[in-house]
Amino acid sequence: MPYCSVFRADLFEGQSIIVTGGGSGIGRCTAHELASLGAHVVLVGRKEDKLRRVVDEIEEDGGSADLDVLDIREEARVKEVIAGIVARRGRVHGLVNNAGGQFPAPLALINQKGFETVVRTNLVGGFLVARELFTQHLGDHGGSIVNIVADMWKGMPGMGHSGAARAGMINLTQTAAVEWAPAGVRVNAVAPGWVASAGLDTYEGPVKAMIPKLRDAVPLRRLATEAEVSASICFLLSEAAAFITGETIRVDGGAPLASLHWPAPAKARSEPYQGFHRAVVPKVLGGSGEPEGAQ
């Protein structure tokens, strides 16, 4: 089966789009959807084996992709990689700024190194990639940037370092949208809530035990699929969003709106959209934790 996107098959035909953090989760799914819609996808991440596996999947499905190994926190290397991508592709049309990472801990137990590491990954690194792509290329040609953030509107207890970084990225998105608008560059963000992706299997202890209960705090009474997040990203990259910039689309099932004063029923009539033919169902939610075809 091919990727079953809601968008027309040639939406990104002839375009080159960079996806950071493309080796797993939302990045992997988005790369697949973009490739299925005609884009050449440049996957960027720290682990070559994970990136290579996704490139192989995309090519097996008839799409086009290549990769660059990069730690987005290293400024000199970011400059080098972006220059290389522009040189070999000639034209880059978009960026999905998806790479990130965090670890669960209460604020009182996070040391300076841990806090700074997460902020560098989830905020500084995304800034470096966006800035370099703008200054080296998009500033002269126009394009679209989509930053991936998170549901942090009620704070982010247990991950305060990530919440601070994600809030900063939303403000950065708004600032870049204004500063880069004259160059024809749109900058938006997508804020996923809880997503049923393989990344959930990286957590242990109390966090792991809590994951199957997360749906109880969502008015739609389920977790998102990766494809539901990817669809919002593709929309913002497309010409259909040509007059949208500086905005954040929340893909969270209404979780930040949940209230103890309006208890949710045990079930809701919400059917997930699953367009990703190679979706991973995490083990913690009863799946295999492996991509389709790798089992």
0.85 exceeded by the pTM? Answer: yes
Please tell me the distance from the alpha carbon of residue 170 to that of residue 191, in angstroms, as a whole number: 9
Instruction: Indicate whether 5 belongs to any domain.
Output: no
Instruction: Indicate whether 291 belongs to any domain.
Output: no
Instruction: Indicate whether 116 belongs to any domain.
Output: yes
H or E element at residue 251: strand 248-251
Instruction: Indicate whether 132 belongs to any domain.
Output: yes
* pLDDT for position 271: 95
Please tell me the distance from the alpha carbon of residue 211 to that of residue 201, in angstroms, as a whole number: 9
* pLDDT for position 293: 45
- pLDDT-based confidence at 200, cuts 50/70/90? confident
Residue-number span of the structural domain to which 108 is assigned = 16-285
* Residue 247 CA from chain centroid, whole number: 15
Instruction: Indicate whether 9 belongs to any domain.
Output: no
Give a three-class secondary structure readout of 137-201: HHHHHCEEEEEECCCCECECCCEHHHHHHHHHHHHHHHHHHHHCHHHCEEEEEEEECCECCHHHH
* pLDDT for position 292: 53
Calculate the average pLDDT of the chain.
94
Evaluate whether 249 touches 191 at the Cβ level (below 8 Å). yes
Instruction: Indicate whether 1 belongs to any domain.
Output: no
- What residue type is 230 in one-letter code? S
For residue 187, pLDDT beyond 50: yes
For residue 27, pLDDT beyond 90: yes
- pLDDT-based confidence at 288, cuts 50/70/90? confident
- pLDDT-based confidence at 294, cuts 50/70/90? very low
Evaluate whether 19 touches 34 at the Cβ level (below 8 Å). yes
For residue 295, pLDDT beyond 50: no
Could you give the number of structural domains in the chain? 1
Mean pLDDT for the stretch of residues 32-55: 98
Instruction: Indicate whether 34 belongs to any domain.
Output: yes
- pLDDT-based confidence at 289, cuts 50/70/90? confident
Per-residue pLDDT reduced to its tens digit, 142-185: 999 999 999 999 999 999 999 999 999 999 999 999 999 999 99
Per-residue pLDDT reduced to its tens digit, 65-116: 999 999 999 999 999 999 999 999 999 999 999 999 888 999 999 999 999 9
For residue 216, pLDDT beyond 60: yes
265 CB-near residues (< 8 Å, 6+ apart): 221
Please tell me the distance from the alpha carbon of residue 234 to that of residue 6, in angstroms, as a whole number: 10
- CATH number of the domain that residue 25 is part of: 3.40.50.720
For residue 30, pLDDT beyond 80: yes
Instruction: Indicate whether 292 belongs to any domain.
Output: no
